[in-house]
Amino acid sequence: MKLINLDHVAIVVSDLDDAVERYRARYNVEPLYRETVESQGVEEAMIPVGGSFIQLLRPLSAESSVGRFLERNGEGLHHVAYAVASIDIALAHLKAEGARLVDDSPRVGGGGAKIAFVHPTDLAGTLIELVERPYE
C-alpha cells in the first residue's frame, strides 16, 4: 500500500455558490468541475491547487451524513483524501492492520473514482478517504 498524493481536502459549506465565489475572490482559484454525487448526498466543487484539490461539499439534504455534520459542527474541515494506486490493496492492508473502516469495500465517488472512508477514531480524529482515480 502506497499513498500517491494528497488528492483533496474536503470542506463542508452551506452555500456552494457563495463558497466558490469567496474562494475565487480571496485565493484566485476556480473549480475544474461541479458534480452532484447522489450516492453521497452532496454537491461538490473541485478546485485544483497544484496536484491536489480543494473539495467544497454542500449536503443535498439535512439527513445525509454531510448534512448531519453541517448541523452539528457548522461549516468546516470534513476529511482528507489520499490517492492510492489500488483501493483493493489499500483496504486489504488496512483490514490486516485492524483499522476501523467506514467502508469495507469501495464505492463510487465523484469523477467516477473508487473511494473508501476510514473512521476518524482510527487515527488522530481525522476522517480519511482513499481515492483510486480511473486514470491512475
Site for Co ion contains 130 (CB under 5 A): no
User: d(Cα 86, Cα 39) in Å, to the nearest integer?
Assistant: 21
Q: Which residue is nearest to Co ion (CB)?
A: 10
Sheet with 76-84, edge to edge strand ranges: 33-37, 42-49, 52-59, 3-12, 76-84, 128-132, 114-118, 107-108
| Closer to Co ion by Cβ: residue 122 or 129 | 129
Q: Which amino acid is at 81?
A: A
Q: How far is the CB of 110 from Co ion (least distance, A)?
A: 7
Residue 82 contacts residue 123 (beta carbons within 8 Å): no
Report 47-86 residues binding Co ion (CB under 5 A): 55, 81
Stretch that binds Co ion, among 45-53, 69-77, 87-95, 121-129 (CB under 5 A): 121-129
| Closer to Co ion by Cβ: residue 94 or 109 | 109
Q: How many residues does the chain have?
A: 136
List 10, 56, 91, 113, residue binding Co ion (CB under 5 A): 10
| Closer to Co ion by Cβ: residue 38 or 96 | 38
User: d(Cα 7, Cα 56) in Å, to the nearest integer?
Assistant: 13
Q: How far is the CB of 10 from Co ion (least distance, A)?
A: 4
Binding residues for Co ion, rule: CB under 5 A, are: 10, 55, 81, 129
